[in-house]
Amino acid sequence: MSPSRRRILSISSVAAAAWLLSLTSGGAQNPVPGSRGSRRPDGSEDPSGASNGPNSPLSTKAVLEERQKNIKKEVEKLYDLASDLKAEVEKTDSTTVLSLAMLKKADEIEKLARQIKDQAKG
């Protein structure tokens, strides 16, 4: 593998992990439809949010917090896998091709990244 390909692979895997980590750590919380406070007859929102239904803000908030915890755990796992792959790529001789283990790890990283993306969408 040429040094430029190796560099592109390592940079792209680290960049993908960093991008996913930034999605879960910052203000990238997607609001859930129906999570707003109830509306008053005059059209303004009820700031108390005193809705007792299954879509109440309290239950929605708990679901969102649990989802965010799961996403953070998976992003940490993704970061570890990407770091391992980067280390393997740096150790590999440039005259050889990618090993089967490296390809499997790249597939696992891709699968986990898609799973995180789907969870982040909701």
Cβ atoms 20, 113 nearer than 8 A: yes
Cβ atoms 87, 13 nearer than 8 A: no
Q: What is the DSSP letter of 26?
A: S
pLDDT bin (cut points 50, 70, 90) of residue 59 is confident
The whole-number pLDDT of residue 78 equals 93
Distance in angstroms (rounded) separating the CA atoms of residues 30 and 16: 20
Residue 6, Cβ neighbours under 10 Å: how many? 16
- Residue-wise pLDDT tens digits, 19-49: 666 666 554 444 444 444 555 555 555 555 4
Sorted by where each begins, the domain ranges of the chain are 3-27+54-121
Residue 65 has which token pair? 């917090």
Cβ atoms 20, 109 nearer than 8 A: no
The whole-number pLDDT of residue 96 equals 67
Average pLDDT, integer, range 80-95: 85
Mean pLDDT of the chain, nearest integer: 74
The whole-number pLDDT of residue 34 equals 47
